[in-house]
Amino acid sequence: MNCHGAGGRGDGPAGKMLTPPPADLTGPKTKAKSDAEVLKTIREGRAGTAMVGFKGQLSEQETSALLSYIRSLSK
């Protein structure tokens, strides 16, 4: 929530200070990504951004739940 914000729009308190800004998880770019792409980002992060990977911190069940939550934001 600090980066992507409560609604997933990339407008969280910490996100406002990041360059590049956090992804808008409600937008068309995220919606167009496959589940595999989103899961890879959750697990490995994104180079050149503040997005860190959560592999080893989240269980597979938690990672799947996070993917479901992200998908619910873009509906």
Going residue by residue through the chain (75 aa), what tens digit of pLDDT does each one get? 799 998 999 999 998 899 999 999 999 999 999 999 999 999 999 999 999 999 999 999 999 999 999 999 976
Query: Torsion over CA of 19, 64, 72 and 28, rounded to 10 degrees?
Result: 50
Q: Does 20 fall in a domain? A: no
Q: Does 35 fall in a domain? A: yes
pLDDT of residue 34: 97
Question: Nearest CA to 39 among 18, 28, 53?
Answer: 53
Q: What is the reported pTM?
A: 0.90
Domain count for the chain: 1
* Nearest-angstrom CA–CA distance, 30 and 8: 11
Q: Which two tokens stand for residue 59?
A: 């269980």
Q: Does 7 fall in a domain? A: no
Question: Nearest CA to 42 among 59, 55, 60, 25?
Answer: 55
